[in-house]
Structure 1
């Protein structure tokens, strides 16, 4: 059995490299067949661009063919050594160094155009024989990867898988130490603990639960790794405040903040709330991004007991 049938899509990159290697090997033979001796297939994009559009800077070539500048610089040096490129040309305004085809490079142009026409015809026949159009598929994949890299897509799948092992439970006395420790760790990393923090974290029953609030705990492998509170507010505009959200650094990247935020919003709805409120600081960019993702919008003009607060937000709960 072909190893790729066993590995599946995980080995997509390896399979594409093998296909590329086969085509590159054939490309070298094709250049020899057309008497274009010593021409390395990877030079072709640079050669084609200079042949069609004339002199260019290294930066312009890199942008046009989608290579890095170091990669283009290396190719240009190789082509210069082979006598195909002149890399000592001054631009018309004499402020930029440009490269262009040498006389030897220009002399190959007609032969390579004939070669390209034959290759286009051969590839077109292969595309017609194939069940799927590889050329269009490559274009589509390039577009998809520009929108979101494979790394980012795998990262999202990892988060999704690991988040399925996260369990959100209600506060119990055994989680009091974790509630305090996780929040103290988070607050102390960015700010200083304040009086309102100590009250809520040292006495969660008195300041949160006994007043009609809730505390939710995120468990990963049965270990408390995230917490968030829903605090009853004595306010005509808001029923509850979402506060004291903290996630252990070792558990970040598992969508725990998102899961806690969604669970808190659902809990507020169960309690009959129509809006919930929160306070934060704009230096916490991932947190602010999470709040917007949850549906919170910024509000202005409310007093706060926290020195660190410079942004306030609200979430309208929908049925």
Structure 2
């Protein structure tokens, strides 16, 4: 169909629905071919009852992956057609047990013959096709169960948008952004402390002149994130990853990840063996980011920040 040649893979759902509708229309006529008055949408429920004998609506829903209301509606339709009966000889009236009627069992025998012919017909399609759709569907179901299409699209969106993010070295023109971005996130969760102002009011003297670095993330040439690599006067650590802040307006574009990578790479270039950081466990996205960068929890160090309740390190050598 020319439409799908134009739309490409983004119309996968529409194309599958069209194929499903075509097969369902044929299925309805196939039942008629075998003299069976039967709706194709009943088949999953009917098959389970044919195999198991009797089931509750909940058990059927779990077995076929449908909702309970959906299964209940199908049971009502099949009951009206005389194929199933509810609460058949159930000792517990609270359990809505469903089973095939005598008519349903006779239909089941006819459908078994029909199914053998349908299987053979599908096998003939598989033998003519270059790809085995049945096996492919099973594989796709597994892959989508591991990671949904929505999540995959979200990842691609983030990847595409992250390419528009530029990481640059700090310049004096970014001092206001360096301070405001940090003040924004700190004030959202905690309170500004004296140690914050030392770095934010004088980044050149407190960080850069002492051998540290500051990186700025630009999106459409606007500063949207910052992060510093601060030189430490400490026998255990060379540098501290600190003052990372990303504008909430730009979250979801991997800005924090790109800044973190820039800081870690800069530390490696400077010959650092270990990087230190302080944070708070309430900031779950930040902790997840640090762990993704390779940081691991350490204990037993003093801190100038009241908000700090977790300390982490990254070993580079």
Q: TM-score, normalised by structure 2?
A: 0.95
Aligned residue runs from structure 1 range 157-306, under 5 A: 157-306=156-305
**SS in structure 2 of the partner of residue 198 of structure 1:** helix
Residue 34 of structure 1: how far off its partner (Å) = 1.4
Residue 80 of structure 1 corresponds to which residue in structure 2? 79
Residue 32 of structure 1: how far off its partner (Å) = 1.3
**SS in structure 1 of the partner of residue 54 of structure 2:** coil
Residue 54 of structure 1: how far off its partner (Å) = 2.0
Residue 36 of structure 1: how far off its partner (Å) = 1.4
Query: Residues of 1 paired with 2:78 and 2:303: CA distance?
Result: 67
Query: Residues of 1 paired with 2:89 and 2:213: CA distance?
Result: 72
Aligned residue runs from structure 1 range 53-64, under 5 A: 53-64=52-63
Tell which deviates more after alignment, 173-182 or 189-198. 189-198
5+ residue gaps, structure 2, are none
Query: Residues of 1 paired with 2:68 and 2:248: CA distance?
Result: 37
**SS in structure 2 of the partner of residue 211 of structure 1:** coil
Residue by residue over 1:15-59, the C-alpha shift from the partner in whole angstroms, topping out at 9 and shown as x without a partner, is 11111010000001111111211x221111111001101222222
Query: Residues of 1 paired with 2:297 and 2:69: CA distance?
Result: 45
Residue by residue over 1:185-218, the C-alpha shift from the partner in whole angstroms, topping out at 9 and shown as x without a partner, is 1112222222212222222223222222111000
Query: Residues of 2 paired with 1:102 and 1:115: CA distance?
Result: 20
**SS in structure 2 of the partner of residue 242 of structure 1:** strand
Change (3 A) 1:87 1:192: farther
**Maintained 8 Å contact 1:226/1:247:** yes
Residue 95 of structure 1: how far off its partner (Å) = 5.1
**SS in structure 2 of the partner of residue 56 of structure 1:** strand
Query: Residues of 1 paired with 2:310 and 2:48: CA distance?
Result: 52
Aligned residue runs from structure 1 range 38-117, under 5 A: 39-89=38-88, 91-92=90-91, 96-117=95-116
**SS in structure 1 of the partner of residue 311 of structure 2:** strand
**Maintained 8 Å contact 1:90/1:97:** no
Query: Residues of 1 paired with 2:228 and 2:89: CA distance?
Result: 67
Tell which deviates more after alignment, 205-214 or 294-303. 205-214
Query: Residues of 1 paired with 2:230 and 2:6: CA distance?
Result: 53
Residue 265 of structure 1: how far off its partner (Å) = 0.2
Residue 240 of structure 1: how far off its partner (Å) = 0.7
Residue 17 of structure 1 corresponds to which residue in structure 2? 17
Query: Residues of 1 paired with 2:49 and 2:180: CA distance?
Result: 63
Residue 94 of structure 1: how far off its partner (Å) = 5.3
**Maintained 8 Å contact 1:269/1:317:** yes
Query: Residues of 2 paired with 1:264 and 1:76: CA distance?
Result: 61
Tell which deviates more after alignment, 96-105 or 20-29. 96-105
Tell which deviates more after alignment, 235-244 or 88-97. 88-97
Q: TM-score, normalised by structure 1?
A: 0.94
Residue 164 of structure 1: how far off its partner (Å) = 1.1
5+ residue gaps, structure 1, are none
Residue 90 of structure 1: how far off its partner (Å) = 6.6
Residue 89 of structure 1: how far off its partner (Å) = 4.1
